[in-house]
Amino acid sequence: MTKILTVGEILVEIIAATKGDGFREVQPLTGPYPSGAPAIFVDQIGRLGFEAAIIGRVGEDDFGHLNIARLAADGVDVSGVDVAAGEATGCAFVRYRPDGARSFVYTLDGSATATLALTEAGEALMGSCGHIHIMGTALSVPGMAGIALQAVDRVKARGGTLSFDPNIRAEMLNKPSLQEKLMGLIDRTDIFLPSGNELFHFTEAADEEGAVHELLSRGIGEIVIKRGDKGATYFAPGAHLDVTAHTVEERDPTGAGDCFGGTFVALRLAGEPPETALRYANAAGARAVTEIGPMEGASTRAELERFLEDAEARR
């Protein structure tokens, strides 16, 4: 099958174990957990047994080694992960407020992620992978954005395909020229994976139906709208499929969209029909939220099959 490449942030996450208004109230903290949306995406693909690789940069520290070890153990090609002596691996502190909303403290700007430079191994991956996946977060880091867009150019020029998850966070929106980069990518996208209202960053349409129609007529092949505990919807020219979310105990929602996206893209590239890819992706997203730690709930194919069989038996 086509090898799937992504470019993006690799970091660790330290999580407040309980909900509360401040870090003092939510002790103890738990972690560090391997994280970074693009890293979770490829880790999920690796766990499914498909080929994936990531171009990124970590510090030569325990956090960096933790990430590389996890990705490699799950079968991800980490040859494009540069280990920078004297720099620190990015870190995110996550706290859940009493209403369940997340509050993040990031140390990405001063981390190894911010100084990503293209290595020979990264260049070789751009020249060999047949699919590239880009997340909006990668475009919000200036040096990384240039490399991500170069990877898109290289893969698409050889007839490869692009999937795009805008993954827009409030703190990204005041970064200059990000909107321009997001808009530049959308018209080259084959599989578009927005969450909820992210669709409206890319069109002036007044409602979802209009937005989907406009984006499909601009040439996007497939759109999957992720709707959290409401499930997901698939659109392609002449096709519309809905899945309802599975009922699970949500312990940590971070990473659900990446596990969903990694599963959907890998299965579509492996030739599975949209119905199957959507069903497995919906199961992968549901399983992801049941584990604390963004990458901890990534699933193997056998785990997804068992989960789907159990869900079927409960109906």
Residues that bind ligand ADP (CB under 6 A): 195, 226-229, 231-232, 245-246, 248, 250, 253, 256-257, 260, 282, 285-286, 289
Taking the C-alpha atoms of residue 95 and residue 84, their distance in angstroms, rounded to an integer, is 29
Least separation in angstroms between residue 154's CB and ligand ADP is: 26
Nearer to ligand ADP, 20 or 228 (CB): 228
Least separation in angstroms between residue 70's CB and ligand ADP is: 20
Least separation in angstroms between residue 282's CB and ligand ADP is: 4
Nearer to ligand ADP, 50 or 307 (CB): 307
Taking the C-alpha atoms of residue 241 and residue 225, their distance in angstroms, rounded to an integer, is 11
| DSSP β-bridge partners for residue 104 | 94
Nearer to ligand ADP, 9 or 82 (CB): 9
Nearer to ligand ADP, 111 or 137 (CB): 137
Least separation in angstroms between residue 76's CB and ligand ADP is: 20
Give the CA distances from residue 39 to residues 61, 78, 202, in Å, rounded to whole numbers and listed in that order. Answer: 17, 10, 25
CB proximity list for 25: less than 8 A, separation 6 or greater: 18
Nearer to ligand ADP, 158 or 230 (CB): 230
Collapsed DSSP state (helix, strand, coil) of residue 224: strand
Nearer to ligand ADP, 77 or 198 (CB): 198
CB 278 within 8 A of CB 232: yes
Taking the C-alpha atoms of residue 98 and residue 292, their distance in angstroms, rounded to an integer, is 17
Which amino acid would we find at residue 222?
E
Taking the C-alpha atoms of residue 132 and residue 41, their distance in angstroms, rounded to an integer, is 12
Nearer to ligand ADP, 250 or 303 (CB): 250
CB 79 within 8 A of CB 32: no
98-137 burial string, b = 16+ CB within 10 Å, else e? eeeeeeeebebeebbbbebebbeebbebbeebbbbbbbbb
Least separation in angstroms between residue 49's CB and ligand ADP is: 20
**Burial group, residue 206, by CB count within 10 angstroms (0-12, 13-18, 19+):** exposed
CB proximity list for 143: less than 8 A, separation 6 or greater: 114, 115, 116, 117
Nearer to ligand ADP, 11 or 68 (CB): 11
CB 265 within 8 A of CB 222: no
